[in-house]
Amino acid sequence: MLSIGFSNWSPHSHVDPEPYIEAGYWGEHHKFTAGVAHADFRNEAILGYARDFNDTWRVQVDFQSGSWNSSTIGFVWSITDDIQINPVISMSLTTVRTKCSVMFPLLTHFTSGAAGNNAAQFVPETSR
């Protein structure tokens, strides 16, 4: 698995988007990820783990280093192969914030005949 993108950006936020790159091992039940995010003129490590119980339910935890040291824990409910609900609790070293986000990602197959074991990228959310 390889994911490249931007996080923590909105056209109304007046801050630069934070680019990240993350790679990982995506096994049948266990998923491990590691990567780097660029935030506030510094690079921060990203680590994650997910455990699939079946095709419908997953639990996952993530960590992002830096001055906020944010961690998230949550679960994924895969309603269909293309729609998932992903509520999370986000915590930092300085404060505890409860943040529940609901995501409906559109998942795309890059190869024909790909299996239906789709998973959305789970990146820690930080507030700066």
Q: Has residue 112 got a pLDDT over 60?
A: no
Q: Would you say how long the chain is, in residues?
A: 128
Q: What is the pLDDT of residues 85-107, one digit of tens each?
A: 887 777 776 665 555 444 445 45
Question: What are 35's two structure tokens?
Answer: 């990567």
pLDDT value at residue 120: 45
Is 12 part of any domain? yes
Whether residue 125 is contained in a domain is answered as no
How many structural domains compose the chain? 1
121 within some domain: no
63 is a domain residue: yes
Residue 79 identity (one-letter amino acid) = I
The answer to whether position 36 is within a domain reads yes
Q: Which residue has the higher pLDDT, 7 or 102?
A: 7
What is the model's pLDDT at position 97?
Answer: 56
- Residue 118 falls within a domain, yes or no? no
Angle, CA of 68, 95 and 72, to the nearest 5°: 65
This prediction's pTM: 0.66
pLDDT in tens, 24-67: 998 999 999 999 998 878 899 999 999 999 989 999 998 888 77
Integer Cα distance of 29 and 31 in angstroms? 7
